[in-house]
Amino acid sequence: MLSIKNLHAGIEDKDILKGINLEVKAGEVHAIMGPNGSGKSTLSAVIAGNENYEVTDGSVELDGEDLADLAPEERAHKGVFLSFQYPVEIPGVSVTNFMKTAINESRKAKGQEEMPANEMLKLIREKSELLEIDRKFLSRSLNEGFSGGEKKRNEIFQMAMLEPKLAILDETDSGLDIDALRIVANGVNKLKSENNAIIVITHYQRLLDYIVPDFVHVLYNGKIVKSGGKELAYELEEKGYDWIKAEN
């Protein structure tokens, strides 16, 4: 589904990703771990199409299609979803209407009719229950004054609404208490299927107790320096990142 080959990218003159190779197939969960500053968030931003980052070499393909020339919204229409580490506050736009706009713009791009209002309401109700989100919460301005946990839960709610092919969860566990973590992870697990794939970017192994990865990759200094099964996450938890740094 996702095929990253020799990806080099950076911001301004600074190289951050220095040759990433990664294959993700439908139905798989991949975890990308690594110390701060290793390039985890850059990788997610580049896949989602953030224009602040420049791709200098290599490619990112989704189902065989090169994403290089696609705007962030076009990538979203093709099924890429990024759960932000720091979701942006948008005063004046309610959660509900943001979702309505996002879904209908995606449908428009695919040449489909807008989703009928009753269907939309049903979908919103269903998905908000999945994330244990209060109905009142949905009429609030997007992320404005939300707690860290509310923001993250809202990200996964959006993921549930948009049903992406490839979801990248960028440090979704940060700022979550144990209950919120359980709700978020439970939501993600219910959305998991044979047809989609999930990349979990995290610093800690904690989230991986809930969202169990098929593969764990260690990103260090812009490269994937180690890959393995879920046991690699435990090893990292036990030993920390220093041995990775020492080896590289």
Partner 1 sequence: MELKEKLISSFMAFEERVDVDSDLHDVRTEAFKNFENKGFPTKKEEAWKYTSLNTILKNDFSVFPKKENAVEFSEVKKYFIHEIDTYKVVFVDGVFSSFLSSTTHDGLDVCLMSSALTKPKYKMVIDEYFNKVANKEESLTSLNTAFAYEGAYINIPRSKVVEKPIEIINFSTGTEAALLVQPRNLIIVGENAHVQIIERHQSLNDNPVLTNSVTEIFVQKRAIVDYYKIQNDNLEASLIDNTYIAQKEQSNASVHTFSFGGNLTRNNLNFYHQGEHIDSTLKGITIIEGKQHVDHYTLVQHATPNCESHQNYKGIFDDKSTGVFNGKIYVEKEAQKTDAFQQNNNILLSDKASINAKPQLEIFADDVKCSHGCTIGQLDEKAMFYMQSRGIPQKEAKALLMYAFSNEVIESIKIPAMKARITKIIAMKLGVNMGFDL
Binding site for partner 1 (CB under 8 A): 48-52, 71-73, 75-77, 80-82, 84, 87-94, 97-98, 100-103, 105-106, 109, 158, 162
* 35 vs 87 by CB, closer to partner 1: 87
* 69 vs 194 by CB, closer to partner 1: 69
Find the shortest distance in angstroms from Cβ 48 to partner 1. Answer: 5
Contacts of range 19-26, beta carbons closer than 8 Å, 24 or more positions apart: 19/57, 19/58, 19/222, 19/223, 20/58, 20/219, 20/222, 20/223, 20/224, 21/224, 22/217, 22/224, 24/166, 24/197, 24/199, 25/1, 25/197, 26/1, 26/165, 26/194, 26/195, 26/196, 26/197
* 76 vs 133 by CB, closer to partner 1: 76
Find the shortest distance in angstroms from Cβ 231 to partner 1. Answer: 33
* 73 vs 179 by CB, closer to partner 1: 73
Contact 25, 1 (CB under 8 A): yes
Find the shortest distance in angstroms from Cβ 6 to partner 1. Answer: 24
Find the shortest distance in angstroms from Cβ 41 to partner 1. Answer: 13
